Amino acid sequence: MSWIKAFCIVLFLYCLQSNAQEITIYTIGDSTMSNKKNPDKNPEHGWAQVLSQFFTAEVQIDNRAVNGRSTKSFIAEGRWDSIVTQLQPGDYVFIQFGHNDQKFKDPDRFTNPYTAYRTNLVRFVAETRAQGAHPILFTSIVRRNFNEFGVLIDTHGEYPLVVRMVANELKVPLIDLQTLTEAWEISYGVEASKQLHLHFKPGEHPYYPNGKEDNTHLSKKGATAIAKMVVEVIEQQQIDLKKYIKP
């Protein structure tokens, strides 16, 4: 093989590699998604924190979810604008709010589901699409909220309904985590479902020496299970992103 031919082959392979599409998934939302500090020691994990393990190297997960944020506070703090300026054609934005939008005692976070909450979701979708990127809407994961009869009780009211309405109206892919995680919690039952969240007796875990009972946030097991649900729905719905899912 002549050096010219060898050079051409190397150049072709380099160009092929350079042109390989790389995309970013931006995840926006609250503490049920967000990255937690000290992940090697901290038993709490957000589901977007563990999402990267399900995708190939062509995908970068940029997890912008932050504890305690609603659609209103996420926008007011400039967090959304900082994402819009970085979005590239072909990127994705995963949108999951609701837990903190319902904080009616906090004017900095509360949104009426049918007015401000809906308006903010529409804005996320429209501005994502304007950059040539792809929005995906998510309903909130359920809280582990069993009553004395062992029945799981909803805590999110009308917010998931509004997400479904916006998804239908604007033809946005919807991953209905409320429905999926409700069935998931029920399948584990009242006691076993504790392992999906943060339940520790005093002295049981060094990160929580005084114990912990948290039915909203997720253990690594719970977070990983939800991330896997998300990936499975992407495949089921034939969203183009599925080509980047690891086999």
Active site residues: 31, 213, 217
Distance (Å, whole) CA 235 – CA 1: 44
> Hey, how many other C-beta atoms are within 10 angstroms of the C-beta on 202?
10
Centre a 10 Å sphere on the Cβ of residue 47 and count the other Cβ atoms it contains.
29
Q: Residue type for 65, please?
A: A
Residues, the chain, total? Answer: 247
The CA distance from 58 to 173, in Å, is 21
Cα-based distances in Å from 80 to 18, 33, 88, 175, 247 = 30, 16, 15, 21, 32
Residue 83: C-alpha distances to residues 94, 102, 226, 246 (Å): 12, 24, 24, 26
What distance in Å separates the CA atoms of residue 21 and residue 35, rounded to the nearest whole number?
A: 26
- Of 228, 220, 230, 229, give the one whose Cα is nearest residue 196: 220
